[in-house]
Structure 1
Amino acid sequence: MLIDLRSDTITKPTPAMREAMANAEVGDDIFGEDPTVNALEAYVAELLGKEAAVYMPSGTMTNQVALRVYTEPGDEIILESEAHIYYYEGGAPAALSGAICRLIKGDKGIFTAEDVEGELRPENPHFPRTKLVCLENTHNRGGGSIFPLSEIEAIARLCQSHHLKLHLDGARLWNACAATGISESDYAKPFDSVSVCFSKGLGAPVGSALVGSQEMIQRARRFRKMFGGGMRQAGIIAAGALYALKNHRERLLEDHINAKILAKGLQQIEGIVISPEDVQTNIVIFQTKNIPAQVLEQRLQELGVLVLATGSHSIRAVTNLMVTQEQVEKVPEIVESAMRSLKSVISYQ
């Protein structure tokens, strides 16, 4: 059996989730008549302490709709240099909103209010207008790092003083909440809007939600339609998301425990560089000293372990609903075997 650690997006619905989806009441969501979508939106809005929510097919769409709500072509957004919105969304800020990205080099994706203040433009017709600051929590390319709530609050105060909007890419906010014990509503409170994903660690097959004020979400619905995200009888998939929210949030701690087990095992392997103390949630990023990451990725695939090369000597492994602790415990031994075989080939060449 393959051990798939490429991402937590590979998760599949559980039998109970499939049953909830099969029995879902549906209607036309464009007309606001799908009772299951309505229930999901109401539940997630209340959970995050916001007035309203809107369900969309993907987290990229929820993020980009938020950007479009807050900006006009030529406006500027401030975000971290390896943020998902900038790094993994196909140039959408420029393509869909005409927005310019001003980047902050963070520490594992984390930056400070002082960093933001240093990037603010003076009010001058020569410069683009800064309209929005975006944070990511947890941070994907930062190795699942958790943005400290105290720093979020400091950034929010700065944004308010400069009349800037603050958006959270909270695709893995559930992981931050599970790891810290901080509630979703406490994490969401400083933000004008939050995007959350149901199809990663929670295990639902489809979808994300954007939450915010009634006015913001009403405007977001217009751009959802414009971007092609309006769905009809979407209750079938919304039921999976609602089931996941109610039943799978607490089990994310299992993924975090497995990530620590994996990191500690990898640390023992010669030629692998990793600090287990840096692993805060379910993402494990390790470095390969002498073997190209893509070469090791391919060899591990042949041995039944799927990971993702994220740089020339960097590999990401993400623990998830589909991988058991027993499987995770086997991975370091398989990695060590792969390293030995590749070293012998490289030495021979």
Structure 2
Amino acid sequence: MLLAPRITEHTLHKGDIVTVPTQEMLEAVLKTTFKDDVYREDSTTESFQAEMATLTGHEDAIFMLSGTMSNQLGLRALLMQPPYSVLTDSRGHIIHYEAGGVASLTGASLQPVVASNGKYLTLEDIQGKAVLDEYVQYSPTRVISLENTLNGLIMPLEEVRRISTWAHQKGLKMHLDGARLWDAVVAGAGSLLEYAREFDTVNLCFSKGLGAPLGSILVGSKKTIAVARKIRQSIGGGMHQAGVLTAMARVSLNATFGTGVNGKGSLLAQSHKNAKYIADLWVRLGGKLLGPTETCMVFLDIKAAGISRIRLEELSAQNGLVIKNERLVVHYRKSCQADFERDG
């Protein structure tokens, strides 16, 4: 049996398992506006939404409380008349998490597709599963929902373009769960603008990796975002003083990802280096990985190491670390550059 690689204090820095607001974010709250976002009166929120729309090449944007809300309302806004289905990667976040929101909020059925290359969906994967026939027994595909990054793996821009071109030719809509698109961009896969323009709606998260306490943005056309805004209000997502949150989100974006579309000089690059260091160290000490480390996520094969999740948690605690399972997510912190983050 393979002995579990020893994790020591020198292997990783100690720290919390979630990102927390920086001093700069807290200072931004003191200078923000406190108007009503439900009635579109808050200048901080309005200007930030406009900036995000421009940055991604879309007409409009709306701030959401979470990535889950942003994904779900983006899909709901694209799905107008059932019956309909959403085609997505079988490993996708909208399938395994988000509390089954696609079913309850949209009434859509999900069409999970397995990536034949083990990393990302290809056009051929999608063409083999998409339901384009209007036969009375079928629930036709209306939206293709992609995720980038997915489990830390990058979906190449060229493949996204192939899928997007084909989908739009067939009259299908495209949604991107881009909660961690920042990481794909920082890794050099393409710019924020290049990726975002291939989709009808895009979810971008400020709390995962960027360090904001919460919040995501949904970008799309004016018509689509208007629908999403009404649905957000219907489920209690309207905010009366959103400037407190959007001010911190703006700081998290500018300070961590950067002010451009290419992530040049982004602080996230160090997270990627740290993740690859952890992955290499685990392998050098005799461990195996469940997949490649392309950005900020490391997946440890703890079964091959002969340890359970409970034992991994115990070993970690003995060294002042908090590790709950085989997925390690490295995020940027000014005070600590190799902490572990829970998925929201």
- TM-score by shorter chain over 0.5: yes
Of residues 96-105 and 297-306 in structure 1, the stretch that sits farther from structure 2 once superposed is 297-306
Structure 2 distance, partners of 1:199, 1:146, is 19
SS in 1 for 2:139: coil
Cα distance in 2, alignment partners of residues 326 and 195 from structure 1: 25
Query: Amino acid of the residue matched to residue 139 of structure 2?
Result: P
Task: Give the corresponding residue for 2:294.
Answer: 280
Tell me if 1:124 matches 2:135. Answer: yes
Query: With structure 2 as the length reference, what TM-score do the two structures score?
Result: 0.87
Change (3 A) 1:17 1:152: same
User: What is the distance in 2 between the residues matched to 1:33 and 1:220?
Assistant: 18
Match of 1:18 in 2: 26
Which residue type is aligned with residue 319 of structure 1? V
Give CA deviations for 1:187-225 in whole Å, capped at 9, x if unaligned: 111111100000111111110010001111111101111
In 2: Cα distance, 1:300 partner to 1:40 partner: 40
Aligned with 2:318 (options 279, 299, 302)? 302
Q: What's the offset of the Cα at 1:74?
A: 3.5
Q: What's the CA shift for 1:109?
A: 4.9
Change (3 A) 1:5 1:127: farther
Query: Alpha carbon RMSD of aligned pairs, Å?
Result: 2.0
Q: How many residues align?
A: 316
Report the secondary structure of 2:83's partner residue.
coil
Equivalent-residue separation in structure 1 for 2:149 and 2:338 (angstroms): 25
Q: 1:108–1:139: 8 Å Cα contact kept in structure 2? A: no
Distance (whole Å) between structure 2 residues aligned to residue 80 and residue 109 of structure 1: 10
Shift of 1:294: 3.0
CA separation of 1:118 and 1:196: change in aligned 2, threshold 3 A: same
**Conserved 8 A contact 1:104-1:115:** yes
CA distance in 1, matches of 2:324, 2:130: 36
- Report the TM-score, using the length of structure 1 for normalisation: 0.86
The match for 2:203 among 195, 199, 206 is 195
Letter in 2 for 1:283: M
Q: Which runs of 5+ in 2 are unaligned?
A: 1-8, 258-265
Deviation at 1:275, TM superposition (A): 7.6
Match in the other structure for 2:327 = 316
Change (3 A) 1:327 1:197: closer
**Aligned pair in 2 of structure 1 residues 324, 146: CA closer, same or farther (>3 Å)?**
farther
Tell me by how many angstroms 1:301 deviates.
2.4
Residue pairs, 1:203-214, within 5 angstroms: 203-214=211-222
Counterpart of 1:30, as a letter, is: V
Partner of 2:262: none
Residues 290-337 of structure 1: CA deviation (Å, up to 9, x unaligned)? 11133212331232112232xxxxx01111123877867xx9xxxxxx
CA distance in 2, matches of 1:307, 1:189: 37
Alignment of 1:331-346 (within 5 A): none
* Structure 1 equivalent of residue 120 of structure 2: 110
Q: Is the 8 A contact 2:298 2:329 kept in 1?
A: yes
The correspondence for 1:185, drawn from 188, 193, 206, is: 193
Unaligned runs of 5+ in 1: 310-314, 332-349
Q: For 2:160 and 2:137, locate their aligned partners in 1 and report how far apart those are by CA, in whole Å.
A: 30
- SS across alignment from 1:26: coil
